[in-house]
Amino acid sequence: MGNGKTANETRKNQKASSERKSSKEHRNFSRKKRDSDPIKTSRNSKKPFNKHHTFSKSHSTTSHRPHSSSKSYSRNSPPDRTSSRSQTSHNPHSSSKSYSKTSQPNRTSSRSQTAHKHLSSSKTYSRTSRPDRTSSRSQSIHKPQETSDIQTKRKVKLSPKRVKGLPKIIKKTNDEITPIFHKSYYSKSPRFQPGSVHNSKVKKKSVNKKAKGIREPKFTTLNTTNVQIVHKYFETISPTLYDTLARSGQFVLYQAEGNRYEIFLVPSEISPMIKQLNKNYPIMSAGIYLGFMKRQQTRTHFERQFFLSFEGGRFLWDYVNSHFPEIKKDLQSVSLDEEGEKAFFYGRNIEMDEVISETEHLVKKKITFVLDQHGEYIGLALLMVKQAGTEKPVLGIKTTDIYSRSPHFKLSLLNLSDGGKYLRKGS
Amino acid sequence: MVEDLDKILALAERFEYSPFMVKQIMKNFPQDYVTVLKAFAQPAPETIRINTLKITPKELKARLEAKGFKLTPVDWLDYAFHVDSSQSRHTLGATHEYLKGLYYIQSLGSMIPVHLLYPKPGDQVLDMCAAPGSKTTQIAQYMQNQGQIVAVDIKHSRLSSLISNLRRMDVRNAIVFAYDATKLYIQQLGKFRPNKILLDAPCTGSGIIRQDPSVKRVKNDSKIQRLRQQQKQLLKAGLKLLTKGGTLVYSTCSFHYQENEMLIAEVVKDVKNVEIIEPQENIGVPGFSEVENLEFGYDMLKTRRLTPHLHNTDAFFCCILRKN
């Protein structure tokens, strides 16, 4: 009563002083412990800090980062709250990167500032004396203390977002960190100049190319399946044609996979150049256009078939005539008169009346080279049998040519490709 | 000044030109602009280039004459003929010979650039603006299908006609792709080191008024200025790609000095180790060393111009540049 304080008040004061004392002790103890064994403290510090609201919050931010680990909490650096949530959220895969930006306490970030308002005394304690959980270990070793200006500069330097799949930072120095895809890196290299094909690795706006009907061509050497198909086709023209061409070693087969599946016969002297150019440029055509592949429906299934082009036929005819006359006898050909030539150029089928060359040796359903009266190649045709009368062919016998030449049937040349296509196509 | 204006308006009305175009013709041909205007009013003569890869000029001449065409040989190009098809019932662009790729319908002026470039078998030639392929096929003809031609054009849509013409004319040594020629880099071209480059640059087409009369109605120089930038970029890129000692032929089908002499003078000034070469053959007339108050230097006399009133061709400009 003498000093005017009640027993309750004194008890309260005592309790408060004891609490302060204990907290001081706890702080000192933790400091001592940290000074004595920093690794232990940083490892052990997980437990008590987890209880705190701020850490749990910041921890929750780190928990969003799958690759962030306890390594990112530095031992020696002073506390840091600069890495705001928003910042870390930009770099989901590189927590160390984001932390490395800052190693000094910085309360500029609005998020951390707002968080402080709700902090209790224990939170204040953790803010002031707790080791830095945000700055990376390596960073804290290199640069334990930096001014806030440098930090902001660093922020600017590292601002390019890490895109998934891009390589990690390759170079770390005290002054700067240069990612491999940094602007300064690719500006030096011509491969990464704007407009070049390689620059397209950077994410672009998706364009519905299918809808536009555009498909970037792939110009590659012919795959084994297609080689077999072409080989098979060549065998129908002449059994030794493919092997003769292959043995000469003058040509390489290429395929262009664009809107159509086109096959090219490229002179071997150009071939290595094409392989190099093909890495950087979308080659559309090279050498001789031999033909194209098409998926055809059979009775049971779909199968890929090769179709010889007009140009391919012209090449084969000229090449065999000039280089391998011994194969010429295998190639089936017909010569047309002027009327027949005209009709053929118009895209029509040809009747045998218009053929001026001998027809007895002709085999039906075989690719036929059509020539004009000068003996020049004008297109490709297929010898077909047409029913002339009412009598239908007897199954099994129809396949023989003798039967086809009976008065009930007539032969005709089915136009496969002719020079008139340049006129009809319009280009 | 008032007299000039009256004259311009009178000529514009008479020949159905815009006053701007008349003014441009007067600037480029100050002595004989009326003759030029009259020459542009005449129909362009038909000219063909015979594909010597497939047939001899003599043989084709005989064949076409049998079909009623009259062929007159060009003095300085043995594979080119002027064709008079008035007596024939056939169309020159639809004969069987044309479809077989035995000849190409091409104006005489546009045959000059490749003739000046004169590619040889085994050369590595780059055609920077290749479509629709008249000059590319001519290059292949000179090279006899030996060596390499890389034909590039920025427009994907124009490549179909280029490819079609290459196939028709039986060109076997050309590699074609759609790309901006200004963005070609020598490091990316691999073994391809062009020792000859043809740059038939995109232009206003003022020289081919006879084929495209819409050019008569151009009202201002905005297109000229826009294309000048492109032409300059292309020429500089071409000179970068060119190997040392190689030649580049720059050509346009335009008579505007802004697209021709002025541009060449600027580029030669900017780019080191490049000189203008005078053609060995006496083709066309020398380019302008000065126009009005602008001076381009006497080197421009080494360039060549073809004009409709002197050579009965489209107006064409050619210049050979060598990298040292």
At B190-226, the pLDDT tens digits run 889 999 999 999 999 999 999 999 999 999 999 999 9
Same domain, B220 and B295: yes
Q: What is the mean pLDDT of chain A?
A: 65
For the ranges A26-40, A56-70, A356-370, B232-246, the lowest mean pLDDT is seen at A56-70
Mutate to test the interface with B, among A284, A292, A319 (most CBs of B within 10 A): A284
CA–CA dist B109, B317 (Å, integer): 9
Same domain, B135 and B82: no
Residues 6 or more apart from B20 whose CB is under 8 A from it? B218, B219, B220, B221
Same domain, B76 and B225: no
Q: Of B55, B82, B105, which marks where a domain is finished?
A: B105
> Would the CA dihedral through A10, A12, A13, A17 be positive or negative?
positive
Percent of all residues in chain B with a pLDDT value above 70, rounded to a whole number:
99
Whether residue A113 contacts residue A107, with contact meaning beta carbons closer than 8 Å, is answered with yes
Same domain, B207 and B130: yes
Asked if A180 reaches chain B (Cβ–Cβ under 8 Å), the answer is: no
- How many domains are there within chain B? 2
Residue at B303 is within a domain: yes
Instruction: Identify the CA nearest to A82 among candidates A99, A69, A97.
Output: A99
Q: Of B105, B121, B153, which marks where a domain is finished?
A: B105
**Phi then psi dihedrals of residue B30, to 5 deg:** -65, -30
pLDDT value for A411: 77
Query: Is it the case that residue A107 has pLDDT exceeding 70?
Result: no
Same domain, B141 and B268: yes
SS3 B10: helix
Query: Is it the case that residue A382 has pLDDT exceeding 70?
Result: yes
**Phi then psi dihedrals of residue A172, to 5 deg:** -125, 120
pLDDT value for B76: 86
Half-sphere exposure of A5 (CA within 13 A, CB side): 9
Cis peptide before B308 (omega within 30 of 0): no
Test A191 with B188 for CB contact under 8 angstroms: yes
**Phi then psi dihedrals of residue B275, to 5 deg:** -130, 155
CA distances from A382 to B50, B119, B153, B297 (A): 32, 41, 37, 65
CA–CA dist A154, A315 (Å, integer): 65
Q: Please, which pLDDT band fits residue B275 given cuts at 50, 70 and 90?
A: very high
Residue at B27 is within a domain: no
pLDDT value for A354: 84
How confident is the model over A217-272, as pLDDT tens digits? Answer: 689 999 899 999 999 999 999 999 999 999 999 999 999 987 788 999 999 999 99
B196-200 and B124-127: which strand pairing?
A: parallel
Same domain, B94 and B113: no
Q: Please, which pLDDT band fits residue B61 given cuts at 50, 70 and 90?
A: very high
| DSSP annotation of A355 | B
pLDDT value for A218: 83
Query: Is it the case that residue A296 has pLDDT exceeding 60?
Result: yes
Between A63 and A290, residue with greater pLDDT: A290
| Chain B hits for A425, Cβ within 8 Å | 164
Residue at B174 is within a domain: yes
Instruction: Identify the CA nearest to B70 among candidates B81, B82, B84.
Output: B84
B253 counts as catalytic: yes
pLDDT value for A124: 36
Nearest CA in chain B to A270: B148
CA dihedral of A141, A145, A150, A152, whole degrees rounded to 10: 90
pLDDT value for A17: 58
- The CA-CA-CA angle for residues B85, B86, B92, to 5°, reads 25
Percent of all residues in chain A with a pLDDT value above 90, rounded to a whole number:
28
Same domain, B113 and B63: no
CATH number, domain of B99, equals 3.30.70.1170
Same domain, B237 and B100: no
Tokens, residue A313: 């036929």
Asked if A322 reaches chain B (Cβ–Cβ under 8 Å), the answer is: no
Separation in Å, CA of B9 to nearest CA in chain A: 40
A414, β-bridge pairs: A382
Residue at B23 is within a domain: no
For the ranges A96-100, A317-321, B159-163, B171-175, the lowest mean pLDDT is seen at A96-100
Same domain, B101 and B222: no
Test A270 with B191 for CB contact under 8 angstroms: no
pLDDT value for A204: 54
Whether residue A79 contacts residue A99, with contact meaning beta carbons closer than 8 Å, is answered with no
Same domain, B66 and B165: no
Residue at B17 is within a domain: no
**Closest CB from B178, B180, B189 relative to A277:** B189
Whether residue A374 contacts residue B100, with contact meaning beta carbons closer than 8 Å, is answered with no
Asked if A191 reaches chain B (Cβ–Cβ under 8 Å), the answer is: yes
What domain range is B75 assigned to?
46-105
pLDDT value for B46: 93
Whether residue B204 contacts residue B148, with contact meaning beta carbons closer than 8 Å, is answered with no
pLDDT value for A410: 73
Tokens, residue B154: 């920025």
**Phi then psi dihedrals of residue A352, to 5 deg:** -70, -15
Q: Please, which pLDDT band fits residue A116 given cuts at 50, 70 and 90?
A: very low
Residue at B272 is within a domain: yes
**Mean pLDDT throughout B307-319?**
94
Tokens, residue B182: 């200004």
| Chain A hits for B174, Cβ within 8 Å | 285-286
Max mean pLDDT range (A97-111, A114-128, A190-204, A320-334): A320-334
Tokens, residue B28: 């480029």
Mutate to test the interface with B, among A265, A277, A311, A316 (most CBs of B within 10 A): A277
pLDDT value for A374: 86
Test A314 with B188 for CB contact under 8 angstroms: no
**Closest CB from A196, A288, A376 relative to B100:** A376
Asked if A284 reaches chain B (Cβ–Cβ under 8 Å), the answer is: yes
Same domain, B173 and B264: yes
pLDDT value for A127: 43
Residue at B18 is within a domain: no
Q: Please, which pLDDT band fits residue B285 given cuts at 50, 70 and 90?
A: very high
Query: Is it the case that residue A89 has pLDDT exceeding 90?
Result: no
Predicted TM-score of the model (pTM): 0.71
Q: Please, which pLDDT band fits residue A404 given cuts at 50, 70 and 90?
A: low
Whether residue B174 contacts residue B151, with contact meaning beta carbons closer than 8 Å, is answered with yes
Residue at B292 is within a domain: yes
A172, β-bridge pairs: A177
Same domain, B142 and B240: yes
CA–CA dist B224, B217 (Å, integer): 14
Location of structure tokens 């040989």: B73
pLDDT value for A308: 95
Query: Is it the case that residue A199 has pLDDT exceeding 80?
Result: no
Test A196 with B188 for CB contact under 8 angstroms: yes
Between A159 and B34, residue with greater pLDDT: B34
Q: Please, which pLDDT band fits residue A68 given cuts at 50, 70 and 90?
A: very low
**Closest CB from B163, B174, B180 relative to A195:** B180
Tokens, residue B120: 């040889």
CA distances from B184 to A39, B99, B181 (A): 57, 34, 5
CA–CA dist A335, A134 (Å, integer): 87
Tokens, residue B35: 């003759």
Between B48 and A191, residue with greater pLDDT: B48
For the ranges A98-112, A217-231, A290-304, B175-189, the lowest mean pLDDT is seen at A98-112
A409-418 and A350-351: which strand pairing?
A: antiparallel
Test A276 with B174 for CB contact under 8 angstroms: no
Q: Of B105, B123, B154, which marks where a domain is finished?
A: B105
Test B161 with A267 for CB contact under 8 angstroms: no
**Closest CB from A195, A286, A423 relative to B94:** A423
A276 CB-contact burial (10 Å; exposed 0-12 / middle 13-18 / buried 19+): middle
Percent of all residues in chain B with a pLDDT value above 90, rounded to a whole number:
91
Return the H-helix or E-strand segment holding B235.
helix B222-241
CA–CA dist A371, A365 (Å, integer): 18
- The CA-CA-CA angle for residues A396, A401, A407, to 5°, reads 95
pLDDT value for B152: 96
pLDDT value for A295: 87
Q: Please, which pLDDT band fits residue B108 given cuts at 50, 70 and 90?
A: very high
Q: Classify A165 in phi/psi space as left (phi over 0), alpha (psi -120 to 50) or beta.
A: left
Instruction: Identify the CA nearest to A83 among candidates A149, A136, A128.
Output: A136
CA dihedral of B251, B255, B261, B264, whole degrees rounded to 10: -30
CATH number, domain of B281, equals 3.40.50.150
